Amino acid sequence: MATRLKWRQRPLRAQLERRDTLLETVRDVNATVDPQKVSSWLVHQARGWIPSPCWAVIAHDVNGMLVVMAEGGLTPALTPSLWAAGNWVMRHGVEFLSGDLARDSRVPQGAAGSAIALPLLCRQRTIGALVGLDALPSATPPVLGPALALSLRAMLEASAIALGNALELQKFEALSVTDDLTRLYNSRYLNQVLRRESKRASRNGRPLSLLFIDLDGFKQVNDNHGHQAGSKALVEASAIIRTSARETDISARFGGDEFAVVLPDTGGEGAAAVAQRIRDRIGSTRFLASDGLSIHLTASIGVATLPDVAASAEELLRVADVAMYRVKEAGKDGIHIAREAFAF
């Protein structure tokens, strides 16, 4: 890597200092508001700037987790080196160059090979890192000349601003469809998903199921322990619901202590299995145990499937809601599977 970087210094500097290069960069990175696409463009450019077996961009996602936004050539063997170099840059906000990561005291053990990691600075904040890796160590440390470093920083700043703007927009969009307390989707997004999925299911001839969930006895939590305890119990219940569903399912807080789970491509039998899993896990959980309490809650769950008992998103939601209330009327803590549409 050190040799390749040495031979690329002069032509790369000349390329980056051309006015049309900067204009093309600004145009290209602002052509999308997708953080992954901005990152992919940057990885593609970096592979042309400094040939290396692997280039990757890491940045914080909407949940604040540091993730790989885009990569080219990343292998499991190179992953420890990526995080070693990338995390160093995220902490220090300056370039990181190493000819032998295995001997570099700046990074933890487990990293190997050589690396060039460049900070992505947006409004004086490090939002990510562009990392180049080679599994082989270099005989000498790679070096960025002062002039080339300045040119790279100017070029990367334009990309970083575009990436930062795209990440902020993605975060804003996520917040607009997310319940503030539980971090599940909110009822507005639930309605959008139901309309979209019901049309897709009807078009493809596939089933679509919906679970409507109400927490039994939740009012007593608020009455006996206060609203703060109630809010914490809702967060714990939402985590159970989310982890009991599949990755392809959509979990939402409908309002208060009511939740819904949309199950695409799932018939009544599969939906009942998910409902039973949620009911069992809620019923066996000691809520607020971390606060020294042992609150017992149960769940009343209604299950409805399109096209069996509904032909539209609105009907599916109504039937699942009524099915849930049938459980309430029968004594709570159970599951009711709608076998036909409920008439009023």
- DSSP element (H, E) containing 129: strand 125-134
CATH number at 199 reads 3.30.70.270
The answer to whether residues 62 and 203 belong to one domain is no
> What's at 183, amino acid-wise?
R
> Rounded mean pLDDT of 3-26?
87
What is the C-alpha separation between 8 and 5, in angstroms, rounded?
5
pLDDT band at 26 (very low <50, low <70, confident <90, very high): confident
Supply the pLDDT for residue 4.
87
Is residue 344 a part of any domain in this protein? no
Could you tell me if 137 and 16 lie in one domain? yes
- What is the reported pLDDT for 42? 95
**Does residue 220 fall inside a structural domain?**
yes
Please indicate, yes or no, whether residues 125 and 227 belong to a single structural domain of this protein. Answer: no
| Last residue within a domain, chosen from 176, 208, 227 | 176
Domain boundary residue, one of 120, 147, 176: 176
pLDDT at 318 over 80: yes
| Judgement on whether residues 165 and 16 belong to the same structural domain of the protein | yes
Q: pLDDT tens digits, residue range 74-93? A: 999 999 999 999 999 999 99
What's the mean pLDDT when you consider all of the chain? 92
Tokens encoding 93: 């906000």
Q: What range defines the domain where residue 284 resides? A: 187-337
Is there a domain that residue 342 lies in? no
Question: Phi first, then psi: what are they for 69, rounded to 5°?
Answer: -80, -35
Q: What is the per-residue pLDDT for 343?
A: 47
| CATH number (domain holding residue 96) | 3.30.450.40
* pTM of the full structure: 0.61
In the chain, the amino acid numbered 20 is D
User: Is residue 140 located within the same domain as residue 208?
Assistant: no
**Do 104 and 203 reside in the same domain of the chain?**
no
Whether 118 and 219 share a structural domain: no
The strand pair at 54-60 and 208-216 is best described as unpaired
What is the C-alpha to C-alpha distance for residues 337 and 339, in angstroms, rounded to an integer? 6
Q: What is the pLDDT of residue 22?
A: 81
218 and 144 in one domain? no
Single-letter residue type at 269: E
Cα separation, 2 vs 30, in Å, equals 32
Q: Say if residues 103 and 114 touch (Cβ distance below 8 Å).
A: no
Q: Is residue 20 located within the same domain as residue 162?
A: yes
Question: Is residue 181 in a domain?
Answer: no
pLDDT in tens, 113-160: 999 999 999 988 999 999 999 999 998 889 988 999 999 998 999 999
Is the domain of 192 the same as that of 171?
A: no
Residues 159 and 287 in one domain: no
Asked if residue 87 belongs to a domain, the reply is yes
Total number of domains in the chain: 2
209 and 333 housed in the same domain: yes
Q: Of 176, 208, 231, at which residue does a domain stop?
A: 176
Question: Per-residue pLDDT tens for 171-215?
Answer: 877 667 888 899 899 998 999 999 999 999 999 999 999 999 999
Q: Quick check: 301 and 335 in contact, CB under 8 A?
A: yes
Q: Is 344's pLDDT higher than 60? A: no
In a domain, 343, yes or no: no
